[in-house]
């Protein structure tokens, strides 16, 4: 199975139901965008896909590579090939960007093969240099403590750098455009566009259409009240930008 399938997903947090029967199919090789008003459950979906323990799945399933992802811990989901770029990445003082990424790579390799001795330092440095050039990052960035004192743009580039190095098969970008100025947005988007391809499915979660000017989606989904209520091509995002969400809300309410 080369697609991520979400079926009838119900998720609660602290007893309050947030996702209410969400369905989604994300094939590898495609870029899908999820848009919707604030508070509709977009980030809840992202965290649930990655296995955040605060989110309780009460019904439904998430399937990838013939496995029910809900049975796996977050690190096991990462090993399976799922990656989440956080909306608000956490700083880790004392751990450099390079050491963090190398440790993550080695953990995944050893999980797949306990005899694996990890990526060689010279090969790792070569790969990091290549990916940082792609993202227009100063080489000195690799020696800084992860997200410690980073600007919003630096945090998001660090997330995309991790994505580039870990080479996932499903990448979830949770409001990666949040807090970015236009120059940083372009650089991050160019990085995503370079990485996307037949072996990578990308789920872009966003409130605004502007990032979709740079990362062109194959499918746009509209989320309201914990469900996907409308799907269409990239033109749907432009329509939302111009007309807002009220017309969809009226359509959904009209359907009862």
- Residue 122: give its domain's CATH number: 3.40.50.300
> How many CB atoms lie under 10 A from the CB of residue 49?
26
DSSP, res 167: -
Cα–Cα dist 253/211, whole Å? 29
pLDDT of residue 52: 95
pLDDT, residue 198, reads 92
Entry pTM: 0.92
Rg (CA), the chain: 18
Say how many domains are in the chain. Answer: 1
Residues 17 and 81: their CA atoms lie apart, in Å, by: 28
How would you write the pLDDT of the chain (256 residues) with one tens digit per residue?
579 999 999 999 999 999 999 999 999 999 999 999 888 999 999 999 999 999 999 999 999 999 999 999 999 999 999 999 988 889 999 999 999 999 999 999 999 999 999 999 999 999 999 999 887 888 999 999 999 999 888 898 899 999 999 999 999 999 888 878 888 888 889 888 988 889 999 999 998 888 999 999 999 999 999 999 999 999 999 888 888 888 888 877 765 4
For tokens 């995503």, what's the residue? 192
Helices H, strands E: what count in the chain? 8, 12
SS3 for 218?
coil
Burial 9-30 (b: 16+ CB within 10 A, else e): bbbbbeeeebbeebebebbbbb
The number of beta carbons lying within 10 Å of the beta carbon of residue 226 is: 22
Taking the C-alpha atoms of residue 58 and residue 63, their distance in angstroms, rounded to an integer, is: 16
The runs of H, that is alpha helices, within 113-166 are 121-134, 152-166
Are 209 and 185 in contact, with CB atoms under 8 Å apart?
no
- Containing structural domain, residue 19: 3-254
- 114-163 per-position pLDDT tens digit: 999 999 999 999 999 999 988 788 899 999 999 999 988 889 889 999 99
pLDDT at 256 (0 to 100): 44
Confidence (pLDDT) at 245 = 87
* Dihedrals phi, psi of 8, to nearest 5 degrees: 45, 50
Q: Where are the alpha helices (DSSP H) in 40-96?
A: 42-50, 74-80
Q: Give the whole-angstrom CA distance, residue 142 versus residue 10.
A: 40
Asked if 209 and 238 touch (Cβ cutoff 8 Å), the reply is: yes
């Amino acid at each position: 199975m080369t697609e991520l399938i979400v079926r009838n997903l119900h998720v609660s947090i602290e007893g309050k139901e947030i996702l209410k029967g969400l369905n989604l199919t994300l094939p590898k090789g495609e870029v899908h965008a999820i848009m919707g008003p604030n508070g509709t459950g977009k980030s809840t979906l992202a965290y649930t896909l990655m296995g955040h323990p605060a989110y309780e799945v009460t019904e439904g399933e998430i399937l990838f590579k013939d496995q029910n992802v809900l049975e796996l811990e977050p690190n096991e989901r990462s090993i399976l090939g799922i990656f989440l770029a956080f909306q608000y990445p956490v700083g880790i003082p004392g751990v450099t960007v390079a050491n963090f990424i190398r440790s993550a790579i080695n953990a995944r390799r050893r999980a797949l093969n306990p005899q694996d001795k990890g990526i060689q330092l010279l090969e790792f440095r070569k790969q990091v240099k290549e990916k940082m050039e792609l993202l227009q990052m100063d080489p000195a960035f690799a020696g800084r403590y992860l997200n410690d004192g980073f600007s919003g743009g630096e945090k998001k580039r660090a997330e995309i750098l991790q994505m580039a190095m870990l080479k996932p098969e499903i990448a979830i970008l949770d409001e990666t455009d949040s807090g970015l100025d236009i120059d940083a947005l372009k650089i991050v988007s160019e990085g995503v566009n370079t990485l996307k391809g037949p072996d990578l499915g990308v789920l872009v979660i966003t409130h605004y259409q502007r990032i979709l000017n740079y990362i062109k989606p194959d499918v746009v989904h509209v989320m309201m009240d914990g469900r996907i209520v409308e799907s269409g091509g990239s033109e749907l995002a432009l329509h939302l930008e111009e007309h807002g969400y009220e017309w969809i809300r009226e359509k959904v309410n009209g359907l009862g």
